[in-house]
A and B are shown apart, each in its own frame.
Chain A
Amino acid sequence: MQTGRTWKSVLGLALAALVAAGASAPVSAGDDIWQDIRRDVFDNRQVSEDGLVTLDAPYRAEDAAVVPLTMHIPASAGAVKSLTLIIDKNPSPVAATFEFGEAAGKGDRMLSTRVRIDSYSNVRAIAETADGTLHMATKFVKASGGCSAAAAKDADETLANLGKMQVRTFDSADAKDHTPNMREAQVMIRHPNATGMQMDQVTRQFTPMRIVSEMDVRRDGARIFKMEGGISISENPNFRFTYVPGSDNLIEVTAKDTEGKVFTATSAGKAS
């Protein structure tokens, strides 16, 4: 996974990219980055920007360390295997990959999270439908410094509460905008999601990377989605999503961070 890179190798890659860019044909810089990502992440497969998926993002971010992004997949898309969230200019462009399970359903689907954005960048949501084709929505976001920013407004509180979780389901009335029979839920985890790029200048050391790298979200035992996350997900990772209601609508979440710590919680309020 790309998130395992240290900042030094990120820097090395950036330098290499600069050298390469200087030598390559005059393609626009933004497109160049995207073509590299398409090659590395999607094995050069065709990605069509056909309007099937939509992405809501603020044009100018209020806080580059906490930029809300919302993705919509309509019922017309049918079954969707996965959704990949890309931030072109971040040190590690793949922000997260979501693999959907049966409880995600095939109706109008929504997934939203909050990310860090390091410089003015294109943000992309790419869905892979059941037939194996890739569909992309792109938004340009003006934000800078999200990855090296010290987001913690109260650094002691963040550490003291690490691993605390909250799982919330919303009344069906709240999901009335969606195709009938979809519900919404939200998962929040107290976690610094440290990028490894935030420097402690007292010690002149980079705060080691520590992120929520995996998360499995189920409803009554059936998977809604499984996430692989990177350093671009904001501190206190926050996900809100639709799901198909079941018998008990018990949402269960298991998350794991890069230190191997496992966090679990359910919508019944039992957190461990």
Chain B
Amino acid sequence: MPQHPSIGRQIREVFPNVTALLAVALLLAFTSLARAVEPLPVEEIAPGVFAHHGLYEIFTPRNSGDTSNSGFIIGKDAVAVIDTGGSEGVGERLLAAIRARTSLPIKYVINTHMHPDHLFGNAAFAGEKPEFVGHAKLPRALAARGDRYMAINKELLGDAFGDTRIIMPTKLVDDRLELNLGDRKILIEAQPTAHTDNDVTVFDEKTGTMFLGDLLFSKHTPALDGSIRGWLALIDKLAARQDIQRVVPGHGPASMPWPQAVEAEKRYLNTIANEVRTMIKQGKTMSDAAETAGMSEKDAWLLFKEYNARNVSAAFAELEWE
């Protein structure tokens, strides 16, 4: 029985070089995929409040600098972004996540502190013409460290560094600043030296959600780049606040209950402070301390090896002046 030619054969008859055709089609498809920015996954942790959970990793070309949490709050008239990720590419993906949910103008981009993993995505928002909001001490901190941050992270990220550049804050907070997003007030508070000397917190009054930036680490070993005494004091002050329902850590789950979320970090910092103080009293050196202090916390945290000895050294240099 004569068979009807298959569809494939019919196509092949019309387009003799079907392989080439497929190749061209695939190439076009991939090109457009590469151009489309994949939105950063975000979770709506409270009505109108979104947070992204960054990876527990140090910068690599593979993660493109997506190693910290970021988020945004949508009001009736405007959007506020809290931190922008560690490269322009991550910032673009955060912008895509926002644009998948709202077309309202992005009026504010708030940087919780100076570290590259939290503000190297700023450049992606420049076209939105927002106010870049930061601690009054942020410009000085970035001025002193900017070149090195750029050089180090360019090396770590390779091609993924892309067009990343530093954008300085345009609106400074030296105490408190209230922003209105339209039927939604958010409060920016400049904190005393703790994780760094330029930490701000962002509080959404409507839902009792507090973005703590790197004042809170969960799972990821805390990184001390300010004052261990200041940080411990601030933790107690924030833990006593009754208006906070939930928090977004700088590294950790997208949303955590308060004040339980800070217990592990407080224990870690207290452990280091106590052990270092004891070693200073015993006449031990910074090198001795870097090798042994905090080791009881080793299994409680990720990236412990990358951060602990450095934290201990920083704590030692601070506490030996007590």
* A residues whose Cβ falls under 8 Å from a Cβ of B: 56, 58, 62-63, 66, 68, 70, 112, 114, 145, 148-150, 152-157, 164, 166, 170-171, 174, 184, 188, 190, 198-202, 236, 238, 240
Contact = CB atoms under 8 A, between A and B. Distances in A.
B152 A154 contact: no
Contacts of B196: 153
Contacts of B145: 149-150
21 contacts: A58-B290, A62-B290, A63-B310, A63-B314, A66-B286, A66-B317, A68-B285, A68-B290, A145-B148, A153-B197, A153-B314, A153-B318, A154-B230, A170-B283, A174-B283, A190-B321, A199-B143, A200-B144, A201-B143, A201-B147, A202-B139
B313 interface: yes
Contacts of A157: 193, 227
A114 B143 CA distance: 25
A200 B282 CA distance: 39
Contact of A62 (B141, B142, B152, B313): B313
Interface of B: 137, 139-148, 151-152, 193, 196-197, 225-227, 230, 282-283, 285-287, 290, 309-310, 313-314, 317-318, 320-321
B140 A155 contact: yes
Contacts of A152: 144
A154 B227 contact: yes
Contact of B147 (A66, A70, A148): A148
A154 B198 CA distance: 9
Contacts, number: 84
Contacts of A202: 139-140, 143
Contacts of B286: 66, 68, 114
Contacts of A171: 283
A156 B287 contact: no
Contacts of B283: 170-171, 174, 184
B310 A70 contact: no
B139 A240 contact: no
Main secondary structure on B side of the interface with A: helix
A68 B197 contact: no
Contacts of B230: 154
Contact of B144 (A70, A150, A236): A150
Main secondary structure on A side of the interface with B: loop
B197 A188 contact: no
Contacts of B321: 164, 166, 188, 190
Contacts of B285: 68, 70, 112, 240
B253 to A, nearest CB: 28
B234 to A, nearest CB: 13
A164 B321 CA distance: 10
A199 B227 contact: no
Contacts of B226: 153-154
A205 B273 CA distance: 37
B53 to A, nearest CB: 28
Contact of A154 (B143, B148, B193, B313): B193
Given A58-B287, A68-B286, A188-B321, A148 B148 contact: yes
A163 B148 CA distance: 28
A220 to B, nearest CB: 21
A112 B317 CA distance: 15
A112 B290 CA distance: 15
B310 A62 contact: yes
A144 B45 CA distance: 41
Given A153-B225, A200-B140, 9 more contacts: A63-B310, A68-B287, A148-B147, A149-B148, A156-B197, A171-B283, A184-B283, A201-B146, A202-B139
B309 A62 contact: yes
B195 to A, nearest CB: 10
A48 B227 CA distance: 44
A198 B313 contact: no
Contacts of A188: 320-321
Contacts of B287: 56, 58, 68, 70
A238 B320 CA distance: 11
Q: Which 4 A-B pairs have the closest CB atoms?
A: A150-B144, A201-B143, A174-B283, A62-B310
Contacts of A164: 321
A112 B286 CA distance: 11
A202 B142 CA distance: 9
Nearest to B284: A174
A149 B314 CA distance: 15
A236 B317 CA distance: 9
Nearest to B310: A62
A56 B317 CA distance: 19
A198 B145 CA distance: 9
Q: Which of B145, B317, B318 is most buried by chain A, counting CB atoms within 10 A of its CB?
A: B317
